[in-house]
Amino acid sequence: MLADLKLSEPYISWLTRAEPVFRYFRKIPQRRWILLCQIILVIFLARQLALFTWQLVPVETSEPAWQINHLASGNTQHNNPYAQLNKLHLFGIPPQQEETKQPTPERVPVSRLAARITGIVASSEPSHSLAIIKVGGSDKTYHIGETLKGTRAKVHEIYPDRVILLNGEQFESLLMYPDEAGKKPRPVARYQSKSVKQAIARVRSNPASLSEIVSISPMRKNGELQGYRINPTGNPALFKKLGLKPGDLAVAINGHDLTDQSQAMKILTSLPELNQISLTVEREGQQYQIDIPAS
């Protein structure tokens, strides 16, 4: 068969050697050739589908995002073209924020908040002071630094007759007695004098010497103990330095209720042993807390 074909000698030689291979392939059934073609076609289509799919999926690049290069040079005015523009203040000079300064208490304007003081315990130690303020129909006890319920006003200072609030950046005052607006607040006594310390030391060593400073008498109403009336005796000046006034009614010591007979006797007998005395007195219908260091 190959001799009938007009082919070159090299090609005829190659075909002669490959003729047994052709005969082998001709013996393979046609169904196997079809199956082989199908497999090849499936592999090709799968490869093309994979390439198409990877083109749809975003690939993260390892290249760093673009960033502004910050020059390490100490003199940036020449390197930064916008440095000189900042000095021109094209939009004006921004105002400097000034620290809020509190005026004197008597000059603090009266607050317009719907709040009312119902009670004050003013102490010579500010952290011990408290105010009972009615806001929104309910009374609540507030210490310095606490925010009034439903407002942004914070308790800044507590005096015997008023409370100074810091409402945002504005100082406002709540008055116990509205007719005292513009008046100086009642002072809270502080005792650092040498004579006070000497008197306290003397009382600690000899409790009976307390009678040289104050007279203490129980105050009863309708047979019920209301507290103990305090008045000066031999040393009115020292009595005043302690922050006391004649006629003060002592109602509590260190939180112990002096209207309770058993508590009153217990705390009064232990006075010389106390390191700190917080005396709560009623004066002109108002309560005051006086802190007396016992040493």
Per-residue confidence (pLDDT) for residue 237, from 0 to 100: 81
Per-residue confidence (pLDDT) for residue 280, from 0 to 100: 84
Per-residue confidence (pLDDT) for residue 2, from 0 to 100: 46
Domain residue ranges in the chain? 107-178, 194-293
CATH architecture of 107-178: Roll (2.30)
What pLDDT tens digit does each residue of the chain (295 aa) get? 545 555 566 666 766 776 776 677 777 777 877 888 889 888 988 888 888 777 776 655 555 555 545 444 445 455 566 666 666 665 666 666 555 566 787 788 888 888 888 888 777 677 778 888 988 888 889 999 999 988 999 999 988 788 999 998 889 988 887 766 666 666 555 545 566 777 777 776 776 777 777 888 888 888 888 888 989 888 788 788 777 889 999 888 877 888 888 887 887 777 767 767 778 888 877 777 777 765 5
Residue 234 phi/psi, 5-degree rounding, is -85, -10
SS3 for the chain, per residue?
Answer: CHHHCCCCHHHHHHHHHHHHHHHHHHHCCHHHHHHHHHHHHHHHHHHHHHHHHHHHCCCCCCCCCCCCCCCCCCCCCCCCCCHHHHHHCCCCCCCCCCCCCCCCHHHCCECCCCEEEEEEEEECCHHHCEEEEEECCEEEEECCCCECCCCCEEEEEECCCEEEEEECCEEEEEECCHHHCCCCCCCCCCCCCHHHHHHHHHHHHCHHHHHHCEEEEEEEECCEEEEEEEEECCCHHHHHHCCCCCCEEEEEECCEECCCHHHHHHHHHCHHHCCEEEEEEEECCEEEEEEEECC
Per-residue confidence (pLDDT) for residue 166, from 0 to 100: 92
Per-residue confidence (pLDDT) for residue 73, from 0 to 100: 45
Per-residue confidence (pLDDT) for residue 210, from 0 to 100: 73
Tokens (6 digits) for 98 = 């000034």
Per-residue confidence (pLDDT) for residue 264, from 0 to 100: 79
Residue pointed to by tokens 């003060």: 248
Tell me which residue of 117, 112, 105 sits closest to 285, measured CA to CA.
117
d(CA 120, CA 143): 10
CATH 1.20.1090.10 applies to domain 194-293 = no
Model pTM score: 0.41
